[in-house]
């Protein structure tokens, strides 16, 4: 605990948004426990934004095989057929 007594809150400037933020004693202890030696360059808000996964967009299409309406997680191309899940699995099944 002698190390914790030497730590002090440090005011830093975010390289992304330019806002000032405080690198608290608790955060410094956490960084030390993980073996991190550098101070953070981004504020907690910018770090949280960077960690967020982009939202997935589903595209509404018509199956090229059975004609049913379905959605796919990619942008369909005009020259390539798109299949619903059932038709896709049926086409990928090995024929015997």
Q: What's the token pair of residue 58? A: 């589903």
Pair 20, 47 in one domain: yes
CA distance 30 to 52: 21
Q: Tell me how far CA of residue 48 lies from CA of 25, 34, 51, 72, in angstroms.
A: 20, 18, 5, 28
pLDDT value for 5:
59
Q: What's the token pair of residue 69? A: 């309406």
Please tell me the number of Cα atoms within 13 Å of 64 on its side-chain side.
Answer: 11
pLDDT value for 16:
94
Pair 10, 32 in one domain: yes
pLDDT value for 66:
95
pLDDT value for 1:
44
Per-residue pLDDT of 65-96, as tens digits, reads 999 999 998 999 888 999 999 999 998 877 65
Per-residue pLDDT of 9-58, as tens digits, reads 999 999 999 999 999 999 999 999 999 999 999 999 999 999 997 888 89
Q: Which domain holds residue 84?
A: 59-92
Pairing relationship of beta strands 10-13 and 20-23 according to DSSP bridges: antiparallel
Tally of structural domains, the chain:
2
């Amino acid at each position: 605990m002698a190390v914790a007594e030497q730590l002090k809150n440090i005011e830093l400037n975010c390289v992304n948004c330019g806002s000032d933020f405080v690198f608290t004693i608790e955060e410094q202890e956490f960084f030390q426990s993980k073996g991190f030696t550098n101070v953070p360059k981004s504020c907690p808000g910018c770090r949280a934004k960077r960690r967020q996964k982009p939202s997935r967009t589903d595209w509404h299409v018509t199956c090229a095989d059975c004609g049913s309406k379905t959605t796919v997680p990619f942008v369909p191309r005009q020259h390539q057929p798109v299949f619903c899940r059932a038709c896709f699995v049926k086409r990928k099944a090995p024929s015997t």
